[in-house]
Amino acid sequence: MVKKIHLLFKLEKIWYGLKVSREKGFGGDEKVTRFGLHKWETSTWNNSMAPTSTTITFNSSSCLPSVHVEVINHGIDLDLLEKMEKIAMEFFMLPLEEKQKYPMAPGTVQGYGQAFVFSEDQKLDWCNMFALGVEPHFIRNPKLWPTKPLDFSETVDIYSREIRKLCKKLLKYIAMSLGLNDDIFEEMFGVAVQAVRMNYYPACPRPDLVLGLSPHSDGSALTVLQQGKCSSSVGLQILKDNVWVPVQPIPNALVINIGDTIEVLTNGRYKSVEHRAVTHQEKDRLSIVTFYAPSYEIELGPLEELVDENNPCKYKRYNHGEYSMHYVTNKLQGKKTLEFAKIYDN
Ligand SMILES: O=C(O)CCC(=O)C(=O)O
Ligand SMILES: [Fe+2]
């Protein structure tokens, strides 16, 4: 079985040259535009298919068990989202030799290739990634920023600035919802680390045999995920009550996933969401994912405001750089990576 999967993956490489059909433009429903204080107009799941449209009101007495929302009125220009998708797709459609000029070295997570591969016999995910560290500047590896398409770097820069603003806003709302000082995360994070990963999932002849991306939670504080519109396939799934629930893309919405860092800081009030991507027999799929996390230098643990005798401390204090290293040097296996931080004796 393992061998077969390897073979399927190799086949995929031949498909790079194939054209995908692109749906032009971002049509869709922009009726829902509230994104105000303590109130996100969002979508959440029902039992069979996520999401259905719901308004979630955060206040200090409520919290969500495991958070995945789709933000419609994120304020980011739709042309910019479209441009980002265009350059990502153009990159993936380049000849293999061109993309291989930017290789993801084994054990690293930047460049073109597959991350989280640690052994010869590991069953590979059906996904090609192109990942770049964006902020702060010292995490950039300029050799990995492609020269084609021509407007690639400029677009990634502009897009990343906008996503950064959105993350800062969302973190403020999360703080407010917990009755904390609005700027608590921003002040604590230092110069936040931001990385972008483009995931391209070609159509897969045997979607029953191989996943697009193995189950995991993100190590970030927040993840902003843009689902490509060039394919209508539903690829992202989240784990809810032990059932994998497909996330139906909402036109122009950005998916927000809470990452492990916010789970730790909020002492589990906000839980990171376990998710995976599945493949489709006929349709390819693109996602553009931004990870927003604290500076590697900071020490973090549950905020003291969120720990008391009714909510005992569930996670230890650790250095975020160490956690990041732990994250990228382990296979994606559900929420196993977070065990690094868990305290089990309560
Ligand atoms: O492609 C997707 O929808 C999921 C991507 C993802 O979870 C990731 O890159 O961490
Ligand atoms: Fe993820």
Report whether residue 277 contacts ligand 1, using a CB cutoff of 6 Å. yes
User: What is the per-residue pLDDT for 56?
Assistant: 35
User: What is the per-residue pLDDT for 44?
Assistant: 35
Query: Is residue 41 one of the residues assigned to a domain?
Result: yes
User: What is the per-residue pLDDT for 330?
Assistant: 85
Report whether residue 197 contacts ligand 1, using a CB cutoff of 6 Å. yes
User: What is the per-residue pLDDT for 62?
Assistant: 35
Report whether residue 218 contacts ligand 1, using a CB cutoff of 6 Å. yes
Report whether residue 302 contacts ligand 1, using a CB cutoff of 6 Å. no
Of 170, 211, 184, 197, which Cα lies nearest the Cα of 70? 170
Domain co-membership, 216 together with 280: yes
The atom of ligand 1 lying closest to the CA of 197 is: 9
- Split into its structural domains, the chain has a count of 2
Of 274, 277, 261, 272, which Cα lies nearest the Cα of 341? 261
Report whether residue 194 contacts ligand 1, using a CB cutoff of 6 Å. no
- Map residue 104 onto helix, strand or coil: coil
Cβ atoms of residues 330 and 337 within 8 Å: yes
Domain co-membership, 27 together with 176: no
Q: Which residue has the tokens 């004796």?
A: 345
User: What is the per-residue pLDDT for 119?
Assistant: 67
CA pair distance 55, 172, nearest whole angstrom: 18
Q: Of the ligands numbered here, which is closest to the C-alpha atom of 201?
A: 1
CA pair distance 234, 285, nearest whole angstrom: 8
Residue 309 Cα to ligand 2 midpoint, Å, equals 33
Report whether residue 287 contacts ligand 1, using a CB cutoff of 6 Å. yes
Residue 112 Cα to ligand 1 midpoint, Å, equals 15
Structure tokens at 195: 């990385």
Domain co-membership, 254 together with 114: yes
Output the tens digit of pLDDT for each of the chain's 346 residues. 322 222 222 222 221 111 111 122 222 222 222 222 233 333 333 333 333 333 333 333 333 444 567 777 788 999 999 999 999 999 999 999 999 999 988 778 899 987 676 666 666 788 999 999 999 999 999 999 999 999 999 999 999 999 999 999 889 888 888 889 999 999 999 999 999 999 999 988 888 888 999 999 999 999 999 999 876 678 999 888 889 988 888 888 888 889 999 999 999 988 899 999 999 989 999 999 999 999 999 999 999 999 999 999 999 999 999 999 999 888 888 999 999 999 986 5
Domain co-membership, 13 together with 125: no
Domain co-membership, 280 together with 187: yes
Query: Is residue 237 one of the residues assigned to a domain?
Result: yes
Q: Which residue has the tokens 């995490």?
A: 139
Query: Is residue 70 one of the residues assigned to a domain?
Result: no
* Domain span including residue 250: 78-340
Domain co-membership, 130 together with 174: yes
Other residues' Cβ atoms within 10 Å of the Cβ of residue 253: 25
Q: Of the ligands numbered here, which is closest to the C-alpha atom of 228?
A: 1
Residues of 261-299 as b/e, b for ≥16 C-beta within 10 angstroms?
bbbbbbbbbbbbbbbbbbbbeebbbbbbbbbbbbebebe
Domain co-membership, 335 together with 302: yes
Residue 275 Cα to ligand 2 midpoint, Å, equals 6
Structure tokens at 136: 């702060």
Query: Is residue 88 one of the residues assigned to a domain?
Result: yes
**Which residues are near ligand 2, the ion (C-beta closer than 5 Å)?**
218
Query: Is residue 67 one of the residues assigned to a domain?
Result: no
